[in-house]
Structures are given as C-alpha cells and as structure tokens.
Structure 1
Amino acid sequence: MPLVRVHNFSISLDGFGSGEPQSLESPFGHAGQRLHEWMFATSFWDREAGQRGVDAVFAARHELGFGAEIMGANKFGPPGWQDDPDWQGWWGDEPPFHTPTYVLTHRPRPPLEMAGGTTFHFLDASPAEAIAVAREAAGDLDVRLGGGASVVRDFVAAGLVDHLHLVVVPIVLGRGARLWDGLEALEDTFDIESVSSPSGVTHLTFTKRG
C-alpha cells in the first residue's frame, strides 16, 4: 500500500515547528526563517549556488513519489484566511505541490485549481478520513503530510504516518506550535535513525515498524 510520509519538517531543539504569533507578515511567527535556513543553503532550493551534501540529499526526497498532499489550515494561510474569499495560499499562481492538495479546515470552500497541476481541496475531516480521500487521489503514489506541527502530531498519534523525516535545528524557540506533546514512547513503534550534518542540523528518520 502507498505510504504516508513527512519530509523536511524542521523543529527547534525544544520541539517547536513554528513560532508565534503567525501572521501574513510572519508565517512562522518569531521563528522567522531560522528553521529553514539549512534548506535554503542546499542545491534542492538553489540549484546553482546551493551545497550538494547530506542536507541536499535529504531535502530532495521531498519531491519523490507523491500523488497527493495533506496540510493544515495554518500552512495554507495566516489566521483569518477563511474570511478572505480571494486568498489562494502563500505560493502565488503556481504552487509547488503539483498534485491534489487537501487543506484541513472547519470551514470548507469550493476547490481551487491553480497552475502547474495543484488543486486545493478544503476538507473538514478526521485524520483517517483525510488519508482515505488523499490515497484515492494519489493512486499508486504516496501521500505527503505537509504540516504544520499539530497536524503531523495528530496523524502520528493516530498511527497513520509511515515515514517521518524531522530536521532538528540548533535553536531554542521557547513557544509556538510544538510537535512532541502526547507522543510518548514513539520509539516503540518506529525505527529511528540519526544523521548529523556539517550545517549543524540533525536529520531524524522515523520508519514505522511492520
């Protein structure tokens, strides 16, 4: 069966996937772009000038083998985007997903077809229901779970994530959206591998045991 995978999900040393408060001007709150600077320095992000080491190898897997994506409401837009009928996401006219993309929200709206193959669908659904819809759309390909932290946490807690790639960035945020809450003893159900990078980040890979 196709897998549910998370890739390139950055967290701070204290486990936060974003800071606060999130706004149109500051999508990651007080964290700014510090959680993602490791990726911006890779050839995955900058094909000409980016480095091609271990970070680039991990980052590139974000693109491979996906037929659908699921994301939370706070990844699609800042607080209050549901009240703006013209809001189309952070990514401009051609979002980078190129697949059916399912946005979890308690206020669904009609699908939004964008250039480049991305169509946003807005679902008021449980994690299991969302996975079922996304898997049908993905066919034989995998489903990417894009975040944010609360969405990843809920899907992991429900036993629905097969592969989880986290990037631990050596900063302390102190507040924001935290990944780890309620996920005690995750090591009992996942095999965990750790790879340190010269950039200072640590790649953690969680693979669900059969």
Structure 2
Amino acid sequence: MMSKLRCHISISLDGYVAGPNQSEQNPLGVGGDRLHDWVAPLAAFREAHGGQGGEVTASSRVFEESIANLGAGLMGRNMFGPIGGGPWGDGEWKGWWGDEPPFHYPVFVLTRHSREPVEMRGGTTYHFVTDGIESALDQAMKAAGGKDVMLWGGGDVARQYLAAGLLDELELHVVPVLLGGGSRLLDDLGGADVRLEQIRAVEAPDVTHLKYRILRGASA
C-alpha cells in the first residue's frame, strides 16, 4: 500500500484553525484552544500523551485512526514556534511539546532558517527544511519507511500542500465555535483546482468529523 500524506485538523465553524493574536501565552490565538475541547477528554488522547482516564465517544475511533500507521510528520515554522519566527538565536527553542513530544517519529519543520536536527526523548527528532514543501515531503516519505506522513499544520502550510496537489487525505474536525479571526485554512488556494471526495461524516459530542480524499488526474 502506498504511503499517504494525511492532514487531520480542527477548524471553527467560520473556517479558522487558530484564533487571532497568537502569543507565547496563547499559541493557538485567543479562543483557539476551544478547537480542541472535543479531543482533550478522550481516553485515547490521554493515553497517547501519557495520561490516564477519560471518555470513549464517537470521536475515539476517529482519533485512534488519525495517529495509526504514522512514520513521520510535517509542520510549518509557525506551528513549531516560537511566535514571530525569525533566526533560531540561541537554539534553546525546541517546540511547544516539552522534552518528550507526543510524536515518537521524525518531524520535518518547514522554515527559512537552517538549523541542525534536534533529537528529543521518546523517539522524536526535529529536522529543519529550508528548500520547500516538496523537499520536506520527500524527506518525510523516506523517513516514514512505508508508513503514512501526518501534516500537522498550521493552516498556511496545509493550504500550500493542498493547493500543490500533494495532499492525499484531509479530515476536518468541525467545532461549533466562531473565532472571528486568526489563521484560515481554505481562504486562498491560488487558483488551484482542488477536488475532494467525501469518505465519511461522523457526528460526535462538540464536533463533526468530515473526511475527504483528494482526487487527482483522471479521478477528478
């Protein structure tokens, strides 16, 4: 089976994947943390992050599928941080997720500023890619060893992969929240003719999961 580039992302009803005024105190912007209220109580989510307890809902299977069969990850510099980007400075910044990130596989960070790989506890190594989205995807696919690659975000990078026809699967976790501003996922695809086939829709507490396959060539 071919490896896929997948993106699973929480989105507000008005189309934002992060709220306005992102800061170190509010990395998801004002109100952006509400986008993940559906997943934080899940037993599967807590187990994946070293916790215990939690709930089992219709979202549990969706979350479990989202983290299955992954061999590498991709993300943009804005998601990795720190807020504002720029040169890496003293190199102390190692992401938002602490000394043992929840990924447990190589993660390729798109950036304009070169940096040596950063190895973390638990099997995560961050690699910093300065030569574009296709190079980052090629490196991630090789590192994944036949498994899938997860595109973690943020919105700008996900939009670039979608517009370039490089994304295979998109699952939107639509949350009944209106953020009114911030980072939008589907604002401007630069004229790209992106065609989607809906695979499923799952209704769950505080969220609706909409899963799409991106069609290419004759399939479109």
Which of residues 84, 87, 96 is equivalent to 2:93?
A: 87
Q: 1:190 to 1:89 in 2, by over 3 A?
A: same
- Give the equivalent residue in structure 2 for 1:160: 166
Partner Cα distance (2:160, 2:70) in 1: 21
CA shift, 1:194, in A, is 4.8
Partner Cα distance (1:188, 1:70) in 2: 21
Counterpart contact for 1:11–1:167, Cα < 8 Å: yes
Partner Cα distance (2:192, 2:205) in 1: 26
- Give the equivalent residue in structure 1 for 2:79: 75
Q: Which runs of no fewer than 5 residues in structure 2 stay unpaired?
A: none
**RMSD between aligned residues:** 2.0
Partner Cα distance (1:184, 1:194) in 2: 27
CA shift, 1:168, in A, is 0.6
Partner Cα distance (2:195, 2:204) in 1: 29
Q: TM-score, normalised by structure 2?
A: 0.88
Aligned pair 1:54/2:55, yes or no? Answer: no
Aligned pair 1:96/2:102, yes or no? Answer: yes
Q: 1:176 to 1:13 in 2, by over 3 A?
A: same
What does 1:169-188 align with in structure 2 at a 5 Å threshold? 169-183=175-189
Q: 1:90 to 1:55 in 2, by over 3 A?
A: same
Q: Secondary structure at the match of 1:130?
A: helix
CA shift, 1:188, in A, is 6.1
Q: Report percent identity of matched pairs.
A: 42
Partner Cα distance (2:111, 2:89) in 1: 12
Counterpart contact for 1:2–1:141, Cα < 8 Å: yes
Counterpart contact for 1:16–1:179, Cα < 8 Å: yes
Partner Cα distance (2:46, 2:144) in 1: 28
